[in-house]
Structure 1
Amino acid sequence: MLSDKLKEETKANHQILEKRLVSQLKAIRSQQEYANLLKLFYGYFGGLEVKINQAIDKNLLPDNDERRKTQAIADDITALGGDVPAKADCDALPRIKNHLEALGALYVIEGSTLGGKIISKMMQQQLSLDKGLSFFTSYGDNTVTMWDTFKNALDSQAENPEQEAVIIAAANETFFKFGEWFEKAK
């Protein structure tokens, strides 16, 4: 299955990004610091979603509109009293020229929903938040179902090893560029 292969082939870049993110999360001590973290997500995911939407067809992923995260992030930033930043531009983002590359990028975005449940609990405990968590709580009780639906769509797309390689490369580039986005913000 492609989704299993993706997990293995992107493991190194995923772990590097996760390490950076977890250290930032643990250091958050105020709503403003949390809002600043959300701004990083908004900028990167916002720009990424624009590119993905240009390459994904409704027939490929019928629930694509439900999977958009940018508005939830913007709502959280606003709820915390912050200003919504600009979206990342092409130089900061991975190349997405076709539906296979878009699926690789979506693998990263959709996979983030699995960790979002843990992050939302962490922020609730650290900051006693009762707002600004809609992005990380994402699909709520439907998170696993939405992930499984995405993986099924993903697994049905690559028809040969070359197409698998395109998706894997796009996912790795998405993880890598997201890590660069965090580093530049420091």
Structure 2
Amino acid sequence: MLSDKLKEETKTNHQILEKALVGQLKAVRTTQEYANLLKLFYGYFGGLETRINEVIDTNLLPDSTERRKTQAIADDIKALGGEAPDTATGDDLPTINIHLEALGALYVIEGSTLGGKIISKMMQQQLGLVTGFSFFAGYGEKTEQMWDVFKQALNRQAENPEQEAVVIAAANQTFLKFGEWFNKNH
């Protein structure tokens, strides 16, 4: 199945990004530092979602509009007293020109919801905050269900190894570009 291949084929880039993000998350000690971290997510995910929206086939992924994250991040930034920054553009983002590339990018975005509960709990403990966690809350109690629905849709999309390779390449590029964005802007 494509979702299993994606997990395996993106493992290295996922782990590199995760290590950088977890290190930064553990270092957060103030509300401002947390807001700044959210701004990094907003900038990258905002640009990424713009590209995805341009090519996603909503007939093949009917719940795609429910899967947008930038508004939740903007709400969190605002709740913490900040303003949402500009979003990434150009070479800061992966190439997303077709539906299959959009799926690869969405794999990264949707996968981020799984770790969100852990991150939310960690930030609440470190900062004593009760607000600013709608992004990391993901879909709340429906997070696992939404992930499963996404994986099922994903597994129906690619019809051959060449199409699978397009999705996998886009997911890897999304992880890599997010890491570059993170390193450049934090």
Instruction: Find out whether 1:130 has 2:130 as its counterpart.
Output: yes
Structure 1, unmatched stretches of 5+, are none
- Determine the C-alpha separation between the residues in 2 that align with 1:125 and 1:148: 29
Instruction: Find out whether 1:42 has 2:36 as its counterpart.
Output: no
Identity %: 76
- What amino acid maps onto 2:97 in structure 1? K
SS at the partner of 1:96?
coil
Q: CA deviation at 1:111?
A: 0.1
Q: CA deviation at 1:185?
A: 1.1
Q: CA deviation at 1:60?
A: 1.0
Q: CA deviation at 1:56?
A: 0.7
- What amino acid maps onto 2:141 in structure 1? D
4+ aligned runs moved over 3 Å, structure 1: none
Query: 1:172 maps to what in 2?
Result: 172
Q: CA deviation at 1:152?
A: 0.4
The aligned runs of 1:29-68 (5 Å cut-off) are: 29-68=29-68
Residue deviations 1:147-172 (CA, integer Å, cap 9, x gap): 00000000000000000000000000
Q: CA deviation at 1:38?
A: 0.2
Residue deviations 1:126-159 (CA, integer Å, cap 9, x gap): 0011100000001000000000000000000000
- Determine the C-alpha separation between the residues in 2 that align with 1:57 and 1:3: 18
Instruction: Find out whether 1:106 has 2:116 as its counterpart.
Output: no
TM-score, normalised by the number of residues in structure 2: 0.99
CA RMSD across the alignment:
0.5
Residue range with higher mean Cα deviation, 55-64 or 113-122: 55-64
Structure 2, unmatched stretches of 5+, are none
Residue deviations 1:38-89 (CA, integer Å, cap 9, x gap): 0000000000000001111211111111100000000000000011100100
SS at the partner of 1:156?
helix
- Determine the C-alpha separation between the residues in 2 that align with 1:15 and 1:57: 29
- Determine the C-alpha separation between the residues in 1 that align with 2:149 and 2:13: 24
